[in-house]
Structure 1
Amino acid sequence: MRVRNKPWAKDKIEQHPQYIVANPEQYKGKWHEVFENDQPLHIEVGTGKGQFITEMAKANPTINYMGIEVYDSVIVIALDRLIEADVPNLRLLHVNASDLEKYFTKNDVDRVYLNFSDPWPKSRHEKRRLTYKDFLTFYEDIMVDGGEIHFKTDNQGLFEYSLMSFSKYGLLLKYVSLDLHKSDFEGNIMTEYEEKFSGMGSRIYRCEVKYQN
């Protein structure tokens, strides 16, 4: 993903700790203190500009949401969305997905969303794909028993790879669509990329998988 540098982004992030959680490692195992409730927690890994996670939070006030994004210049756009939406059940984390275990522990998370992740198509970059087995282990280690991953992409190669990765890991396939926007799936909330790609006629792939105990 090409990201246009915003020199002021870091200062803006630091000015809004009520939205982008500062020192998130101190809340490991006790995220309920941030939200001041015991609602389930759903996280989006690679939240981008925040459209999906913000709209999900609006639509589901009895669930807490966390958008995770590593790029300064992208998370500030998600921050603007959150400030405008003013929803109490959403926070952002400015961290790398490979460091999730620093900030979450077992039973912290109920669901992980992976939306339009970088496909990293070259074989030597397989370990960077967010559906690679090591990431599946990271997610399992921070989730409740029977936690779920919901995955969307426009990239057929990544989708096929991910289904194979999920299967090899032993995840239970609950739902799969090879053309989401022509399916009977209800309540779909689109990301910015999804709007762009579907508008260009691209097929959107989606699946839901569950960890088995």
Structure 2
Amino acid sequence: MRLRKKWWARPEMEKSPLVITEPTQYSGKWSEVFGNSNDIHLELGCGRGDFIIKVASQNPNKNYIAIDLKDEVLVYVLRKVQEAELENIRIIPLQIAFIEDVFSENEISRIYINFCNPWPKDRHNKRRLTHTKFLTKYKKFIKPNTEIWFKTDNAGLFDASIEYFKDNGFKIEYYTYDLHNSDFHENIVTEYESKFVSLGMKIMFLKAVLK
């Protein structure tokens, strides 16, 4: 679905210190941005922010960075963060292809990828956020033993992602093709996930660890 341009979104975001519009300036300095040395967790493709709000609320001793491309979406994430009065979230408008320029070695302790575009056509596979092309970028800034939590409703993407992770030095510590009927109890339900489950769709999940 194409979003209608909201010309007021970027000016509103620029007024808030919670939004980092020039993130490459802070590569290697994200602990200074948050004012502490807590672990930093990253959500790639945060949508309207329901997930990041929930996880940050439950873990005040962790820092969170929410990344998405569209100001029209991120402005609502900002409003939710402000309403929840959360100080441990920062928001970055960014095309994820440029992620490696934003963080330095060992800055990120966990990555969440929730319901990214499956890019089902073979010629588009390299755009998948779990593809080798992107995993190579992530490995430049994640700590050893960092976990990547990945959820999708697309079986083709899920099967391919398992192989991408294995081929790039990650160990699959946990996976399931039916998350909501599994023994994994740390799940935080996203907005998309609620809709999918209500339609009877199964959610696939894996946890991969860089060794």
TM-score by length of 2: 0.96
Q: Matches of residues 2-81 of structure 1 in structure 2 within 5 Å? A: 2-16=2-16, 18-81=17-80
Unaligned 5+ runs, structure 2: none
How far the C-alpha of 1:170 sits from its partner, in A, is: 2.4
1:181 aligns with 2:186: no
1:110-160 CA-to-partner distances (Å, cap 9, x unmatched) read 111100000011111011100110100111101111212110011111111
Q: Which amino acid aligns with 1:146?
A: N
Unaligned 5+ runs, structure 1: none
Return the alpha-carbon distance in structure 2 between the equivalents of residues 170 and 32 of structure 1. 27
Return the alpha-carbon distance in structure 1 between the equivalents of residues 21 and 124 of structure 2. 31
Identity of aligned residues (%): 43
State whether residues 194 and 204 of structure 1, in contact with CA within 8 Å, keep that contact through their aligned partners in structure 2: yes
1:144 aligns with 2:133: no
- Structure 1 runs, 4 residues or longer, greater than 4 Å off: none
Return the alpha-carbon distance in structure 2 between the equivalents of residues 160 and 209 of structure 1. 13
TM-score by length of 1: 0.95
How far the C-alpha of 1:31 sits from its partner, in A, is: 0.6
**Structure 1 residue matching 2:139: 3-state secondary structure:** helix
How many residue pairs get matched? Answer: 211
Q: Which amino acid aligns with 1:22?
A: T
**Structure 1 residue matching 2:5: 3-state secondary structure:** coil
How far the C-alpha of 1:211 sits from its partner, in A, is: 0.9
Return the alpha-carbon distance in structure 1 between the equivalents of residues 127 and 75 of structure 2. 24
**Structure 2 residue matching 1:66: 3-state secondary structure:** strand
Q: Which amino acid aligns with 2:93?
A: H
How far the C-alpha of 1:77 sits from its partner, in A, is: 1.4
Q: Which amino acid aligns with 1:38?
A: S
Return the alpha-carbon distance in structure 2 between the equivalents of residues 136 and 185 of structure 1. 24
Counterpart of 1:207 in structure 2 is 206
Give the aligned CA root-mean-square deviation in angstroms: 1.1
**Structure 2 residue matching 1:29: 3-state secondary structure:** coil
